[in-house]
Amino acid sequence: MDLFESLNSFCLAHLNETNDWYTWKIDESKIPIDIKLPKGNQYLKNISLKEELHKAWEFESDIKKKKEIIKYYIKDWGGIASNSEYSMNDYTTHSPDFLIAKGKKGIASWSKALVIHNPEKYAIFDARVSISLNCLQIVYDIKDKILFPNLGSRNKTVSEGQKKISQISKQDNWQKVNKSTFYIDYLQLLRNVGNSRKNSIATVEMLLFAKAEMLVNETRILLNRHTGSGNFF
């Protein structure tokens, strides 16, 4: 089994008609433009939010207003308050290729900006997505494992999982992702899985995000069972 097969199987097990597993709530009072989100669960609202922000950003000619949209999605929706105005200008005015060339530096922010640029082509890559991809390879017992970069996280479960994955990857000599191409490779993985199941790349990414803690806990159980120590992870 490879990463595509494992992620495809994971989607098969969890994606459904409602996708109620996605619970990231939107504070609609902070949305900087006048849009109406659909009634329903947070999955539907968040999918609509991406689409509506993209439409507004694409047709807006005022750079300041375009930056407001990007800043909202990174800071208010995404909870990342550490970006400078200089960075926000980059995320607003530079091309996707320019941003992708940054590699993992700032990826949790610039990948959100790219979603506003085009949610059908780009997807968020952050700490939760990365740990999910790493844990999937243990849960599904992939032979040739690839280490996705550990990114800073305020989530205790994710942070603890990252530390253990880092140790295991060194111990078992995991191959590291290509620093220059891993985001493009990640997008292709999402497309391949999405196409096989007629899902968008956004849906596959949102599943990885939402199930991060669950996958860390499943990985912990498997590793503890394997070592027989009960406290390896």
Any domain includes 23: no
- Pairing relation of β-strands 146-147 and 175-176? parallel
pLDDT attached to residue 231: 52
Q: Model-level pTM greater than 0.85?
A: yes
Question: Do residue 163 and residue 210 come from a single domain?
Answer: yes
Looking at 57, 84, 117, the residue that finishes a domain is 117
What is the length of the chain? 233
Question: Do residue 219 and residue 131 come from a single domain?
Answer: yes
Question: Do residue 136 and residue 113 come from a single domain?
Answer: no
Distance CA 213, CA 215 (A): 5
Question: If pLDDT is split at 50, 70 and 90, which confidence band does 152 have?
Answer: confident
Q: Specify the higher pLDDT residue, 233 or 22.
A: 22
DSSP the chain: --HHHHHHHHHHHH--SS-TT------GGG-SS---PPSS-HHHHHHHHHHHHHHHHHH---HHHHHHHHHIIIIIIT------HHHHHHHHHS-HHHHHTTTTTTHHHHHHHHHHH-TTT-----HHHHHHHHHHHHHTT-SS-EEPPP---S-HHHHHHHHHHHHHHHHTTPEEPPTTTHHHHHHHHHHHHHHHHT--HHHHHHHHHHTHHHHHHHHHHHHHHHHS-S---
Q: What is the pLDDT of residues 42-69, one digit of tens each?
A: 999 999 999 999 999 999 999 999 999 9
Domain limits at 156?
3-16+127-227
Question: Do residue 110 and residue 162 come from a single domain?
Answer: no
Nearest to 106 by CA among 132, 88, 131: 88
Q: What is the pLDDT of residues 190-226, one digit of tens each?
A: 999 999 989 999 999 999 999 999 999 999 999 888 7
Question: Do residue 107 and residue 56 come from a single domain?
Answer: yes
